[in-house]
Structure 1
Amino acid sequence: MSKKWFNSKKFTGIRWQQHPTRKHGIRFDRKFGYRFMFQGIQFEGFLGWETEGWSEKDTYLKRQFYLENAKNGIGPTSLKDEEQQSRAAVLAEKSKETSFEDYFNNRYLPEARTRKKESSIRCEKQHLRDWISPQLSGKPMHSITPDDIEQIKLAILDKGRAPRTAQHVLAVFRLVWNHARKRNVVETDSPTRAIEIGKINNQRTRFLKPKEAQKLLDTVKDLDEKAYSLTVAALYTGARLGELTGLTWSAIDLEEDTKSITLLHTKTGKPRVLPIASPLHHILKATPQGNADELVFTNSKGEKWREAPWGFRQAIKDLKLNEGRTDKREWICFHSLRHTSASMMLAAGVDIRTIQSHFGWSTLAMLQRYTHALDESKRAAVDSLEKALATKSGGKVIPFKKAANKSCS
């Protein structure tokens, strides 16, 4: 094809190149192109051959279409743009027929595996298999309604599962839906927004007593020394599992007069400095210290704990601490160590403001979980008052004298 350009005399901005051998009628075939300037930017491109049906006029009309799009800042300005938008439209149309299950497995899951723990992935897949898929049955995402979500919720509750389970399942659905919306597979808010789960009470009502806590520590120690170190740290600091498993040696001060732990990555985002109790101090002193950025508590492979240690979970089973308890709110888990610490401090009479600061509670509402400990603390306070008064009065209670009635006249 000749690279020489021929400009149209009839239509502004239209030109063509001539094929060296192929003819269209009595003249050589022509490949039409266009060009125009807008705001200092040159737009140009080929459209097609005359043998394919293109003409000077058709090319000019397309040029005007592209020019108008450039002025408006929207729409294609080249044939390549049109082809890309056409493919995108086809994909968008196909995506409307994508089922929730297909999207989960083919789009959401591969991306989620790059940033989530395998235990979380396993849980989400289980919710999809057990609760979501049986109700949706391959229904396209754009056709899913709040009524479909309501059926998922009812199926969970009809099986005798707790409302908390329904909440978790719907949270997975919403997570995947929002993932699809960000990628323009769906255009509306998640249909879970129209569903009410009802009030959920997951407040744990059981904590370890001192003898139970000590027996648990002894059992964990026999099973796994590293799990024992983490368990002691949780019980003597009241810190959360995630706060401890991410702890590095830079946050540890083992000096006798200042021994403390600085929790930087807390649930509230506010750092907390906690004193180190003697049993924990002894363990940390005996632990080979790594570099400032190395983890303090690791598993047997030297890696970060991703969940409660096996040694701790096995100790709970061996001691049968959860045996015969059907309500999971009464189960002892790793987080129960935090509740146990708070309960013991309150029972010992530590003032609530100090405890609030130690545990990082944003409000005192959390104290409602420890009413039994508060009752013990108040009983101890009253007993101390009684002893003090008895000492002052020689062991006798001094009655109030009744004042004589006097006239107001």
Structure 2
Amino acid sequence: MATEWRKTSFQGVRYREHPTRKHGIRPDRYYVITYKLDGKTKTEAVGWASQGIKPAECYELLAEVKRNQRTGTGPRTLEEKRKEAEAARSATKQQAISFEYYFRGHYLPEASRRKNPETILTEEHYARIWIFPALNEKPMAEIHPLDVERIKNSILDAGRAPRTALQALAIFRLVWNHAKKRGLLDRESPTRNIDLPKVNNARTRFFSPDQAEQLLKLIEVDDPAAYRITLAALYTGARFGELAGLTWSGLDLSGKRITFLHTKTGRPRSCPIAKRLCVVLSELNRGNPGDHVFVNRDGKPWRECPSVFRKALKKLGLNEGHTDRRDILVFHSLRHTAASFMMAAGIDPKTIQELFGWSTMQMLARYTHVLDETKHKAVQSLERALEQPSSKIIQFSRGKVLGIK
């Protein structure tokens, strides 16, 4: 390729000719501009004549960078000018990205590497059924509170529970913050500016020891694989997804400890293994570190709650006469049961919080219940105190009771 630089009629604009390639009837020309920057000579390429570059246009570019140098505004070099143009193109492209495009192309691939597969399936389901249709390909940069209200209203108008709306909006907020953290958005999630539906998820029922044992016996006879994951749920208080995702690398039978890597909060946690559960797990053939501990009767990982669990509930009639969803016993009630009995046994709340992986103590209050027997004892103690005429209550000036004599 020729290396001889030739001047044009425009000062500071030069070119060299391609040794073989033609542009029209003459050799193709490669244009550059030369100027001073901070006392040093700088040469920058503009492009080929075959790309539409003309000497006059090169001179205009040269005049622009020189003017910017004098005024101290705008790009001082072609390189800076190109970077600004690329940033503008990128910003325009980002502004046009829809929620669905970002969810599928950016959020989902990254989240799938760190979240439980069951969680990913749930998030994808809510986004596909409720969020995408309500936003209708609207660019994320143009989404405002009214659009989020549309998501909420579409769920409630369909007769779904407020909890469903809250879940959908929580997923929207997760994806929005994911995009904001990566520089695509520069404002807070519009979910902050709408009224969220109020939900009371506190469960009012859980299994008694007799009910739990009857349930386990029925399941064990029908499906030993379902029995194992049900027993584990009762004796660890783990969520179904955490147990379904447990691999042999997280099970230490010699140390009697289970470590859940894929948790709802994203933070691994471990808990001791009860003797009864340890015996059952010891009977299994240990798999490879990445193999699932709990598999169904076909040897495949669990994808949903065992059907025999629901059949056993129905056979025992444990949900008969109960219509409020908070009163219905489900697989997750095993977790409530475990937390409730620990609480009734006097285990301190902080320990229960850590064992069950709750991020706040408020979550513990939602999931625990005081046993009826404990309630009766509390009322009986009050009754005994009130029925003793000679009882004397010692009280501090601030209203705190010290004791009864």
- For 1:333 and 1:41, the matched residues in 2 are separated by 77
- For 2:180 and 2:353, the matched residues in 1 are separated by 41
Paired residues for 1:71-90 under 5 Å: 78=78, 82=82, 89=88
CA RMSD of aligned residues (A): 5.0
2:130 and 2:168 in contact (8 A); partners too: yes
Paired residues for 1:43-58 under 5 Å: 44-49=44-49, 54-55=54-55, 58=57
What residue number does 2:6 align with?
6
Alpha-carbon shift at residue 345 of structure 1 (Å): 4.0
Q: Cα deviations across residues 178-211 of structure 1 (Å, max 9, x unaligned)?
A: 5665677665443222112044221111101222
What residue number does 2:162 align with?
163
Q: 254, 260, 275: which is aligned to 2:256? A: 260
Alpha-carbon shift at residue 369 of structure 1 (Å): 4.8
State the AA in 2 paired with 1:32: Y
Secondary structure of the 1:15 match is strand
Secondary structure of the 1:227 match is helix
What residue number does 2:173 align with?
174
Secondary structure of the 2:326 match is helix
Structure 2, gaps ≥5 residues long? 393-405
What residue number does 2:329 align with?
332
What residue number does 2:399 align with?
none
- For 2:225 and 2:51, the matched residues in 1 are separated by 79
Paired residues for 1:102-121 under 5 Å: 103-104=99-100, 106-111=101-106, 114=109, 115-116=111-112
Q: Cα deviations across residues 277-317 of structure 1 (Å, max 9, x unaligned)?
A: 2x223212222234566543334455544543444345445
**Paired residues, what number?**
378
Paired residues for 1:10-409 under 5 Å: 11-12=11-12, 14-18=13-17, 31-35=30-34, 44-49=44-49, 54-55=54-55, 58-63=57-62, 65=64, 78=78, 82=82, 89=88, 93=92, 100=98, 103-104=99-100, 106-111=101-106, 114=109, 115-116=111-112, 123-124=122-123, 127-128=126-127, 130-132=129-131, 135-136=134-135, 139=138, 141-178=140-177, 188-244=187-243, 245-246=245-246, 248=248, 251-254=251-254, 260-263=256-259, 265=261, 267=265, 269=267, 271-277=269-275, 279-290=276-287, 295-300=292-297, 302=299, 304-317=301-314, 319=316, 321-322=318-319, 325-347=322-344, 349-352=345-348, 359=356, 366-367=364-365, 369-373=367-371, 376-377=373-374, 379=376
What residue number does 2:403 align with?
none
**Distance change in 2, residues 1:235/1:85 (3 Å):** same
**Distance change in 2, residues 1:65/1:50 (3 Å):** farther
2:68 and 2:76 in contact (8 A); partners too: yes
**Distance change in 2, residues 1:261/1:194 (3 Å):** same
**Distance change in 2, residues 1:33/1:174 (3 Å):** same
What residue number does 1:406 align with?
none
Alpha-carbon shift at residue 261 of structure 1 (Å): 1.8
Range moving further from structure 2, 167-176 or 118-127: 118-127
Q: Cα deviations across residues 203-226 of structure 1 (Å, max 9, x unaligned)?
A: 111101222212221232233222
Range moving further from structure 2, 240-249 or 206-215: 240-249
Alpha-carbon shift at residue 382 of structure 1 (Å): 8.9
1:29 and 1:51 in contact (8 A); partners too: no
1:24 and 1:51 in contact (8 A); partners too: no
- For 1:217 and 1:81, the matched residues in 2 are separated by 71
1:226 and 1:300 in contact (8 A); partners too: yes
Q: Cα deviations across residues 215-245 of structure 1 (Å, max 9, x unaligned)?
A: 2212322332222112112212333335544
What residue number does 1:405 align with?
none
- For 2:267 and 2:146, the matched residues in 1 are separated by 38
Alpha-carbon shift at residue 398 of structure 1 (Å): 10
- For 1:401 and 1:111, the matched residues in 2 are separated by 69
Q: Cα deviations across residues 115-141 of structure 1 (Å, max 9, x unaligned)?
A: 547765665565456544665455555
Structure 1, gaps ≥5 residues long? 387-396, 403-409
State the AA in 1 paired with 2:217: D
**Distance change in 2, residues 1:163/1:67 (3 Å):** farther
- For 1:305 and 1:51, the matched residues in 2 are separated by 59
